[in-house]
Chain A
Amino acid sequence: MANEITHGDAGVPRRDFLLLAAGALGAVGVVSTIWPFIDSLEPAADTIAAGAPIDVDLAPVKPGQQITVVWRGRPIFILRRTPDELKELQSPSDTTLLRDPNSEVDQQPEYAQNWHRSINPEFLVVVGICTHLGCIPMFEPRGSALMDASWPGGYFCPCHGSKYDLSARVFAGVPAPYNLPVPPYNFTAKDRITIGENPKGSDWDFSSVEQI
């Protein structure tokens, strides 16, 4: 067999080339065979379809009241804050206790990166899932029997004791690392919002948040 001692152009022995070529093609085959299995674990088309935007009427929500709606299987907290509460959110006695008072971590769209973490200061819209391990924090207004006297009002997670203020900003020294995320939403009327849709001009991607 004369072929046995023939060498390739680059001096690579023929057998090495065959081995590499077969190996590379085999690897491509293995990866492309595994891929459907991995991808089948991703959310299915109907699961994604069930995550379409929802409309919420804010008119019935009274000042100081919080409602919970469901979007993509997650609880969305909508809190209508009173003028007093809004004043408190800007006071240094509140903000110095926070881990990220200026919302620098990407936990909200750019249109909610402000002290009130919302479009309209009066209405807070956040995903009600603790950034520690995914429990649902409880709304505890000032004077709640569960909290001590200095509690300024906000959210308290019963699982591991994480606390958030009325802008859902996390306090320092609790297990949760980040503020509660703000979902994409926009005002379609004065007291009507669509959750899951950015205002015109924004193409913010919800999956870009640091932590849900």
Chain B
Amino acid sequence: MAPPGPGAANGRITRWIDYRLPFVKVMHHELYEYPTPRNLSYWWNFGSLAGAMLVIMIVTGIFLAMYYTPNADLAFDSVERIMRDVNYGWLLRYIHMNGASMFFIVVYIHIFRGLYYGSYKYPRELLWMLGVVILLLMMATAFMGYVLPWGQMSYWGATVITNLFSAIPGVGHDIVTLLWGGYVVGNPTLNRFFSLHYLLPFVIVAVVGLHLIALHTHGSNNPLGIDHKGPGDTIPFHPYYTVKDSFGLAVFLLIYAVIVFYAPNFLGDPQNYIPANPLQTPPDIVPEWYFLPFYAILRSVPNKLFGVILLFSAIGVLFILPWLDTSPVRSAKFRPVYKKIFWLLVIDVLALGWVGAHPPEGIVVTVGRIATFYYFLHFLVLFPLIGKLERPRPLPLSIGAAVLGGGSVPVAERG
């Protein structure tokens, strides 16, 4: 029998199990002694928060599905029944509905943290790309979930988004018919969206598993963006980061609860409390807030096919980002130019969000076009260029030296 690792549980039953399925051993290795950079800031909480959100969404979703009816004639009423008649149905639904928003907030912060600290760079390219896959799956899941209540915005959002695929030359119409299962968005569409909305979260769970395996292969990046080289640079995951993650989770759940209990419809569109009417378009079709920047990019182009291409490219550039960024330095802390430019991208995405929320007239169109242009300029031109032109500041010798101070040569040299 293999000797158990240091500190691993040594009970007879544990040893019996581990010899056959090394569950306790692996958990101990990956969650207990797992060496983690000692300098992780609170920005590193958002990965575990995203994981918590995924669990919350799946659990509330399973319970909602016990009452929801995926039929065009019954769906809206079944959601209202959940709200009014089912015990705590309102709570389950508000947790689930606002959970989508909270999930995206957490994931967007997680992504921007990765952008700031260069977490997508060698050797974490696949880790990053798996993250982008998760983002795409989340978007598909959220979109199809939004269709299920079968309100006006559900119906017309589904119509607008599925019609995007008709822009594909040649096979566009056939793809749209396959999505619809009819001549228009209708009952067959609702049925298949429900099926997929139930399936995709479990696909996300699987990809999150791969994401974690990739993460644990080289460990977390850290605010300094340098590799951890020895025991002086790391601390065990438990108790240090289990505590930090738990504290972050508690604060996060507090904010989440305030929204669920005091402003559950703040982030939603009131139009979606009107049953779907295929013969009347709402005055302004607006997606949920988390899609607004992408929607703005779509609308900024007067050509349909080109608009759709740009929409998908906005995510596509994230896939190739590890190769667009030519800088050998990860963290923006040591990249004086990138550090400033990073905030331009944040402002740009916020501007796109604002554009997406307003009807495309006058100044909105102009801002939308400039912001769309800048988005792609940032990724396709500035990332490669700045990496080449910028002179990074000297990196500390090690995480331990930088954090603990005391004779850290490079920090003193920096002046």
Contacts and interface: CB of A to CB of B under 8 A. Distances in A.
Nearest to B307: A175
Given A134-B163, A158-B284, A177 B361 contact: no
A212 B165 CA distance: 12
A148 interface: no
Pairs of residues from A and B, 3 with the lowest C-beta to C-beta distance, nearest first: A72-B183, A73-B184, A134-B163
Interface in A41-81: 41-44, 47, 51, 68, 70, 72-75
Interface in A126-175: 132-136, 138, 157-161, 173-175
B243 interface: no
B87 interface: no
A211 interface: yes
Contacts of A73: 182-184, 186, 278
A38 interface: yes
Contacts of A158: 281, 283-284
B247 to A, nearest CB: 45
B279 A68 contact: yes
A74 B183 contact: yes
14 contacts: A43-B182, A51-B183, A73-B184, A75-B278, A133-B159, A135-B160, A135-B281, A136-B279, A138-B281, A158-B281, A158-B284, A159-B285, A161-B361, A173-B302
A51 B299 CA distance: 32
Interface string B103-136: 0000000000000000000000000000000000
Interface in B180-194: 180-184, 186, 188, 192
Interface of B: 156, 159-160, 162-164, 166, 173, 177-178, 180-184, 186, 188, 192, 278-281, 283-285, 299, 302-304, 307, 359-361
A161 B181 CA distance: 28
A132 B304 contact: yes
B159 A160 contact: no
A159 B181 CA distance: 24
Given A158-B283, A159-B285, A47 B361 contact: no
Interface string A165-197: 000000001111100000000000000000000
Interface of A: 38, 41-44, 47, 51, 68, 70, 72-75, 132-136, 138, 157-161, 173-177, 207, 211-212
A133 B163 CA distance: 5
B164 A160 contact: no
Given A133-B160, A174-B302, 20 more contacts: A41-B181, A41-B192, A43-B182, A47-B181, A72-B184, A73-B182, A74-B183, A134-B159, A136-B279, A138-B281, A158-B281, A158-B283, A159-B284, A160-B360, A175-B299, A175-B302, A175-B304, A175-B307, A207-B173, A211-B166
B272 to A, nearest CB: 16
Given A136-B281, A159-B284, A177 B183 contact: no
Contacts of B302: 173-175
B271 to A, nearest CB: 12
Contacts of B184: 72-74
A182 to B, nearest CB: 16
Contacts of B183: 43, 47, 51, 72-74
Contacts of B164: 133
A38 B285 contact: no
B360 A42 contact: no
Contacts of B181: 41-44, 47
B160 A159 contact: yes
B194 to A, nearest CB: 14
B172 to A, nearest CB: 9
A95 B305 CA distance: 25
A74 B159 CA distance: 12
Contacts of A38: 178
B311 to A, nearest CB: 11
A177 B192 contact: no
A47 to B, nearest CB: 5
Contacts of B178: 38, 41-42
Nearest to A172: B302
Contacts of A43: 177, 180-183, 188
A75 B284 contact: no
Nearest to B156: A135
A75 B284 CA distance: 19
Contacts of A175: 299, 302, 304, 307
A68 B181 CA distance: 24
Nearest to B161: A133
Given A43-B183, A74-B184, A160 B299 contact: yes
B177 A42 contact: yes
B349 to A, nearest CB: 21
